Structure 1
Amino acid sequence: MQVFEDISGRMGLDDVVALPAGKPAGFTPVGPDGIKPGFSRSAWWLRAFVRNEGAAPMPLVLTLREPRLQSVTFYVQRGGQWQRERPDSSFEPVPRYPSLRFTLGPGEQVGVLIREAGDTALSLEPKLYSPAENEALDRRETLWGGALIGGIVALAWSALLIAYFSRSTAFLLLAALCTSTALYEAAIRGYTKVYLWPHAAQWNARSVPIFGCTAVLFFLAFILNIARGEKTNVPARRILLVFAALEVVCSAGAAFGDLRFFDQAALLVNGLLGIAQVGIAFVLSRRRTPTARLMLVTVAFGIFDFGLHLAESLGLFAHDLAWLNSDIHPNPIVAVIGLATHLVVLAAWVDHVGRQRRAARDELVQWQTSEQERLRYEVAQRTLALNEALLDAQEKNRQKIETLGYVSHDLRAPLATITSYAKLLQYEADSRQSALILSIERSVNYQLGLIDELIGYAKTELRPLEIAPVQTDLPALLNDIADYSIALCAQLNNRFCCQALTSVPRWLTIDGRRLQQVLLNLLSNASKFTRDGMVMMTIRARAQGGQWLIGFEVADTGIGMELGHDSHPFSAFRRIEAANGTTGLGLIIAQRIVDTMGGELRVSSALGEGTSFSFEIVAPVASAETAGADERVPYSSLMAEQGPRRRASRRTADAPPADDRKTLAALARDGRMTDIERWMDSVGEARPACAAFLAELRSCLDALDFAAIEALARVDDEDLAISA
């Protein structure tokens, strides 16, 4: 074999053939192992002569076992003429190595010229094989390459699964590192040229530094991620960041720039990085933290793997390490050792993560124990504080109850005075005034009953409403309730009707005061939500042995309400009361009293059609000493209907102006008797023509009929509107 370097790279075949042999300006001899010019801008010519000294034809394969070679041309001397050999297209897939196939007859000699040029590191190491030897070597390379690349891919898949289930960025970076390493190994062995881009020799050459720099970049990212996650101060962290940036630049330059320059730059950068990693490993070896030990293992094995590849590529293995040499290039033994280093790193990292999680679990258990103790102490302290607050609240509540008892007791004195004066007035009153005074006495007695209840409430310390049944005259009680109801209904121009559907007993053993409280609360609600309508109270009675089942119903034609299936009717009615500015306590009190009496307060209503409350109670018959035997009152004697109070006659000529009448209506609505008299005096002096109006107003005021006074002003407003 002879070699010639064409520095210009432009010499043709004829120029090269004409060169003398054995002279400095021509071909020079080469040893049997060839030469490695490395990165060179020259074109290199290799001339070889092959002779068959056997007695049989011999097929041969001349191969340059370097898949990264970009431009290789074969010329064969036949019959004294040099001819360019075309690649055999019958081989599928595309062969990984440039090769020449030919057959020599017995005693035949052939000359071969090989031109090689490119941007990658050149290697002039032609090998001559028989077809069987070449196929056997390819099979061994494929076996070793498949095992190596498959192992790295399996490692990447394992790291990816761990990253998915543990949500760990470090394992994700490790998976990316293994994937880049697998692509790098496939590129330097020519498998990417065969399976990924068979017709792009230039890209196949560029892919080696791209994947190599990418793998180193992910290795640096893995180291920095471990340090950040473990909050470990990595020595020369900024230097590692600079190397990571240089790896990105070299990878991008190898893809789009001058391949020769960036390929050499990548080798230089990775060599300097190896030196920096040696220093980092030395510093980490002096730290005894778990994270420092893990990073030391990672850096040490990374340096070891890089050193093996560098020594193998430079042929630096000593004679004692000849077992590391191989006829397969790149060396699969070195690559498998590199795979083992990756597995060690993964195992170390998995063990480290497991230790971290166990430590975190133990720390969590300790924190939970201490937190439970803290919470138990806080609960005890707060329980003690709540008990003290409860005792304090009970003491304040007792004081409030005592104050309520004192105030309720003092309220009895002025009401008793009113009752005494009412009795004195009763002696000199006529029949009409006597009826009004009796109404005052009934109201005062009702208020005295409520005050007695407050006193009892204070004495029993907020016990529920108690029922005290006594012998009660039921018709007289109903008549009193009817008198109250007439006044309530007149305020909004409603008609009141009290009707007994059956005959009722006269004497019953019942708490009449509680029954009156229930009915008045229901009638008050009915008159409050009804205007210009009807309020009706109906009573029915049915004897059951020695007892009576008494039923009451209070119905109105007012606004009504819509009762949904998912809401309680009393809750809906209380919301209506709250919307109209009332408290809703009346209905609550009525419901509690009815429940205490053993009944159930029911409601039925429809929006715009009115509301009906009903309940039934069981009352024993009074003793024979007080009531006559089976004394009943017929239902016809209890039927009574009372319309609104008399309305003022319609006047237009002698009525005061509208503004004055509005003031009068407001005073009557509030029951301000003294202010109404002052209003009458001022209007009488200013408007003598309103004498008739004032006379009728005086009669209403003497009767204390404030509803009629309000109606008088409102009726005249309507008349004035009509006349206008």
Structure 2
Amino acid sequence: MRINFIMPGAVWQRVVLLFFICWSTHLFASTSNTTSANESPLPALGQIQVFEDVSGTMTLAHINALYAESPLSFATAQQKRLKPGFTHSAWWLRVELSNHAATNVALVLALLDARLEHVDFYTSRTDAVSQPVSSRYPLMEFTLAPGERLPVFIRVASDTALTLEPALYSSAAFDALEKRAALWNGGLIGGTLALAWCALLIAYFSRSGPFLVLAALCLMTALFEAAERGYTRVYLWPQAIEWSSRSVTVFGCTAVLLFIAFILRIARDEKARLPWRYVLYVFASLECIGAAGAAFGNLFVFAQVGLYVNAVFGFVTVGMAASLARQSTPTARIMLLTVIFSLLNSALRVLETLGSLPPALAWLKSDIHPNPAVAIIGLATHLIVLAAWVNHVGKQRRAARTELADWQRTEHDRLREQVARRTLELNEALRYAEEKNRQKIETLGYVSHDLRAPLATISSYASLLLNRADSKQATLIQAIERSVNYQLALIDELIGYAKAELQPLDIAPTATDLPALLDDIAEYAVALCAQLNNQFHYQALTSLPRQLTIDGRRLQQVLLNLLSNASKFTHDGTVMMTVRARRHEQHWHMGFEVADTGIGIAIEEQSKLFTAFRQIQSVNGSTGLGLFIAQRIVNTMGGELRVSSALQQGTSFSFELIVPFAKDLDASQLSVVPYTSIGSAPARPQPKRWLASAIPPRSDRRDLAVLAKDGRLTDIEQWIETMLAIHPSCTAFLTEVRRCVEALDFPGAEALALAPLEPENIS
């Protein structure tokens, strides 16, 4: 996601504008307060007397008796004694209030320090004055009559640093002061929370760890300011006075800890060389100890620990700033800016707390405690650091995007050149590999062909010797014949592989007599179905054209493979072949379907059905190539072989071909193949009848049927060679068988062997 960073100039203008608005408001508020005070003068506060109760156990009765016996035991308060700091003693203040006006005056006597734990007010009117819960300062509200003098004792005890400076206000003036303080403090705390929210959003959208730490730092600073001014005591935990005192130290130490984490995170992410890195780790550990001890341990001890550790850390930041000034990297400059502004803010706080602001900074003084002007300057420094860091991150991102774009462009050009070079090399390697593979396959085909001829001769002579051998010789000759047949089978596989690799499936469309072709196929199918007692049905669903421009040999091969499978997986059932034709413009849309009532095919097997050497069941030693060959032929002819099957219900294979006209046809050139009855062959021309002298004996033809059924190419060719040697008069029949074998039409060869003959022509 893209982030629009704030321009540095606009940020500086807003910071300066905010600063002058706050200064003007501060001056106006101070002037208004002075004018009001001049118009309505307050009763005199009188002299403040201080007594230190070292034991911390004296009660009001002890103090009254002590003051009555020895008034000098209460010393006049000096500036030093009004800020005793950390002490275990209880401090008693005595002030005497008098009203010289002619009317009653509503007054508020307050100690403007929200960190004080135990503050009790005592007057002659009552032993102890209850304090309002809604007040963020310890205070006493009362009314003085005209001319009345009221002595007040104040007992103060706390584990935090003590500041004993009571202030007297009229009720109206105190309310006005609190309203002005609420405006200032609300702007301070709200502005710090707004910075935290902005840093959190930037951290979320930019996935930046330093901004997340900065958001936590701003949030903790807001909590520290709220706790130091007493707002957390009023709004978050009004009944937990002790925790209100502890929370100031806890939040302060945690804020310094997050500041250290912010510096370390910047140095790590930016890979900057940060001096005194391990010293910062030590201070981070001390801040953790101080925060945990102030929350759960002795506040008197850990409040001092936190104060002294932070003071020493201020000196360390001075040295770190000096070391960073020597580095000219942008990250070092940003870190130097962060350290300088944080150090400036801390110094202003210390000077304002000690009352030692120089005359040049007298305009920062305020009657609001703690002084919001100093805190507002701290808020402005946070804003400056955030703006500078956002600007720095924006520059880094722009530089990174530019560098990334350049790298992508360079890498794209390099990859494009590399891909082009590698593609050229791969193409050359592919052409070289294809050429070498073709040469190897050609060599394999030549060698296999040359080996087959002498082996076939040896097999023929072995067959001749077997007819004249005795039983002992027959055993040896049969062993030779088996070895030769095994070698011939291996050679046939090699020749088939070489032929398939070198010669893609060829389709040679010619003008084909479709009814005659279908009749021949039906005649073969009748013989195939008779083996397992199946009935064959052939039906033309529409009028069929007499001639088509199609490769009839390949179409016959497909249909015979489908019919052979149907007859093998069907027992005592029905096999049906249907054909339909539809004329569209200059083409015929031919549809063919072979269906059976056999065992069917499971759904999970149908997706693997057309894979080479895939068998549904092992039947009669088949190789599983029939459907693969049929699908390959159909795809080459522009169709798609589809299957529909259910277990124990049968299977249907169908495909459609778009075939051009052989010539212009009219209605007289269409033929209709009528529907045939169950168990009969279709009406077709009479098949060829072989003369008795031109047909091998029944036993030899039975052997041919077995070999064709098993698809044993080499054995069939050997059978043909043997028959030519033994029965030369059967050349026509053997030529027809060879034609079927060369077309891999084993069902056709089997049908020739089992074709029904006239009784007088059967040997």
TM over 0.5: yes
Deviation (angstroms), 1:263: 0.8
Deviation (angstroms), 1:572: 4.8
Q: Which of 281, 294, 302 is equivalent to 2:342?
A: 302
* Matched residue type, 2:93: L
Q: For the Cα contact (< 8 Å) 2:99–2:144, is it kept in 1?
A: no
Quote the residue 1:607 is aligned against: 647
Q: Which of 130, 135, 139 is equivalent to 1:87?
A: 130
* Change in CA separation of 1:595 and 1:138 when aligned onto 2, cut-off 3 Å: closer
Deviation (angstroms), 1:29: 1.7
Q: For the Cα contact (< 8 Å) 1:96–1:194, is it kept in 2?
A: no
* Change in CA separation of 1:254 and 1:238 when aligned onto 2, cut-off 3 Å: same
Quote the residue 1:374 is aligned against: 414
* Change in CA separation of 1:531 and 1:134 when aligned onto 2, cut-off 3 Å: same
* Change in CA separation of 1:244 and 1:408 when aligned onto 2, cut-off 3 Å: closer
TM-score (norm 1): 0.70
Distance in 1 separating the partners of 2:274 and 2:547: 102
* Change in CA separation of 1:485 and 1:150 when aligned onto 2, cut-off 3 Å: same
Distance in 1 separating the partners of 2:617 and 2:560: 19
Distance in 1 separating the partners of 2:432 and 2:395: 55
* Partner-residue secondary structure (3-state), 2:83: strand
* Partner-residue secondary structure (3-state), 2:233: helix
Q: For the Cα contact (< 8 Å) 1:155–1:343, is it kept in 2?
A: yes
Distance in 2 separating the partners of 1:462 and 1:607: 36
Distance in 2 separating the partners of 1:322 and 1:293: 31
Distance in 2 separating the partners of 1:367 and 1:557: 68
Q: Does 1:104 align with 2:176?
A: no
Deviation (angstroms), 1:620: 9.4
* Change in CA separation of 1:224 and 1:21 when aligned onto 2, cut-off 3 Å: farther
TM-score (norm 2): 0.67
1:534-545 superposed matches below 5 A: 534-535=574-575
Deviation (angstroms), 1:412: 9.5
Give ranges in structure 2 of 5+ residues lacking alignment.
1-46, 465-488, 664-670, 675-680, 688-705, 716-749, 755-763
* Partner-residue secondary structure (3-state), 1:307: helix
Any idea what the Cα deviations from partners look like across 1:351-392, whole Å, max 9, x if unmatched?
Answer: 121112112111211221121012111111122112212322
* Partner-residue secondary structure (3-state), 2:163: strand
1:213-224 superposed matches below 5 A: 213-224=253-264
Q: Which of 508, 511, 516 is equivalent to 1:466?
A: 508
Deviation (angstroms), 1:131: 2.2
In terms of mean alpha carbon deviation, does 40-49 or 509-518 score higher? 509-518
Distance in 2 separating the partners of 1:353 and 1:137: 42
Distance in 2 separating the partners of 1:356 and 1:543: 73
Distance in 2 separating the partners of 1:543 and 1:71: 110
Q: For the Cα contact (< 8 Å) 1:537–1:554, is it kept in 2?
A: yes
Q: For the Cα contact (< 8 Å) 1:8–1:42, is it kept in 2?
A: yes
1:481-496 superposed matches below 5 A: 482=523, 486=527, 490=531, 493-495=532-534
* Change in CA separation of 1:398 and 1:74 when aligned onto 2, cut-off 3 Å: closer
* Change in CA separation of 1:311 and 1:467 when aligned onto 2, cut-off 3 Å: same
* Matched residue type, 1:87: S
Distance in 1 separating the partners of 2:549 and 2:169: 130
* Change in CA separation of 1:320 and 1:589 when aligned onto 2, cut-off 3 Å: closer
Distance in 1 separating the partners of 2:58 and 2:582: 135
Quote the residue 2:41 is aligned against: none
Q: Which of 117, 132, 135 is equivalent to 1:70?
A: 117
User: CA RMSD of the aligned region, Å?
Assistant: 4.9
Distance in 1 separating the partners of 2:547 and 2:501: 31
Deviation (angstroms), 1:341: 0.9
Q: For the Cα contact (< 8 Å) 2:514–2:545, is it kept in 1?
A: no
Quote the residue 1:234 is aligned against: 274
Deviation (angstroms), 1:409: 6.9
* Matched residue type, 2:161: A
Quote the residue 1:36 is aligned against: 83
Deviation (angstroms), 1:527: 3.1
Q: Which of 392, 414, 418 is equivalent to 2:432?
A: 392
Q: Does 1:342 align with 2:382?
A: yes
Q: Does 1:267 align with 2:307?
A: yes
Q: Does 1:157 align with 2:193?
A: no
Deviation (angstroms), 1:611: 3.0
* Change in CA separation of 1:85 and 1:379 when aligned onto 2, cut-off 3 Å: same
1:131-280 superposed matches below 5 A: 131-280=171-320
Distance in 1 separating the partners of 2:444 and 2:120: 119
Give ranges in structure 1 of 5+ residues lacking alignment.
425-446, 623-629, 641-664, 674-703, 709-724
Deviation (angstroms), 1:576: 10
* Partner-residue secondary structure (3-state), 1:111: strand
Distance in 2 separating the partners of 1:474 and 1:456: 34
* Partner-residue secondary structure (3-state), 2:301: helix
Quote the residue 2:153 is aligned against: 113
Deviation (angstroms), 1:222: 0.9
* Change in CA separation of 1:583 and 1:539 when aligned onto 2, cut-off 3 Å: same
In terms of mean alpha carbon deviation, does 347-356 or 59-68 score higher? 59-68
* Change in CA separation of 1:382 and 1:32 when aligned onto 2, cut-off 3 Å: closer
* Change in CA separation of 1:355 and 1:152 when aligned onto 2, cut-off 3 Å: same
Q: Does 1:320 align with 2:360?
A: yes
Q: For the Cα contact (< 8 Å) 1:34–1:125, is it kept in 2?
A: no
Any idea what the Cα deviations from partners look like across 1:213-241, whole Å, max 9, x if unmatched?
Answer: 11111111111111121222322222211
Q: For the Cα contact (< 8 Å) 1:500–1:639, is it kept in 2?
A: no
Higher-RCO chain (CA-CA 8 Å, sequence separation at least 6): 2
Q: For the Cα contact (< 8 Å) 1:404–1:458, is it kept in 2?
A: no
Any idea what the Cα deviations from partners look like across 1:624-681, whole Å, max 9, x if unmatched?
Answer: xxxxxx9x999567799xxxxxxxxxxxxxxxxxxxxxxxx9xx999999xxxxxxxx
In terms of mean alpha carbon deviation, does 412-421 or 261-270 score higher? 412-421
Paired residues, number: 601
Any idea what the Cα deviations from partners look like across 1:197-228, whole Å, max 9, x if unmatched?
Answer: 22222111111111111111111111111112
Give the fraction of aligned pairs with identical amino acids, expressed as a percent. 54
Distance in 1 separating the partners of 2:582 and 2:150: 138
Q: For the Cα contact (< 8 Å) 1:457–1:463, is it kept in 2?
A: no
* Change in CA separation of 1:396 and 1:41 when aligned onto 2, cut-off 3 Å: same
Quote the residue 2:26 is aligned against: none
Q: For the Cα contact (< 8 Å) 1:186–1:192, is it kept in 2?
A: yes
Q: For the Cα contact (< 8 Å) 1:409–1:455, is it kept in 2?
A: no
* Change in CA separation of 1:609 and 1:315 when aligned onto 2, cut-off 3 Å: same
Distance in 2 separating the partners of 1:186 and 1:139: 15
Deviation (angstroms), 1:12: 2.7
* Change in CA separation of 1:596 and 1:226 when aligned onto 2, cut-off 3 Å: closer
